[in-house]
Structure 1
Amino acid sequence: MLNHFADRSKLSGYAEASLALLVERGIMKGVSTHRLAPQTTVTKEQATVLVMKMLRSAGLSN
């Protein structure tokens, strides 16, 4: 699922399976078509969007 991201080798091993699930479900798409940017700082806005997408995916929010 993460093979098309050029920077996938920069992922921490513990996060790989979880991130693959988020990408598979369309919750997370990366900063571009071919970049995840796993070592960059996440903004409050990005974190909020991610949490809301996860809650919606779990059926816990509308």
Structure 2
Amino acid sequence: MTIDDLTTALKFLKPGQMAALPYSVYEILFPPGEPDERARERAYNFAKQHGCIIENKIAEQQVWFKKPT
């Protein structure tokens, strides 16, 4: 997955839907990945630009980009 792929996926989300990224993919798109604060900040800003919020699902090792309801 590329950042362009994620942009496209977020564009088509409806309120309440989400796109889940495994930590391994998140790490590629927002290096160096979890738990780096700068990576979190870049991901947060990216999500915000696309009308989404982020939920870090530690137990699932995923980061969710979610369109608020």
TM-score, normalisation: structure 1: 0.33
Greater share of residues in strand: 2
Structure with greater Cα Rg: 1
Greater fraction of residues in helix: 1
Per the normalisation by structure 2, the TM-score is 0.30
Which structure has more RCO (C-alpha within 8 Å, separation ≥ 6)? Answer: 2
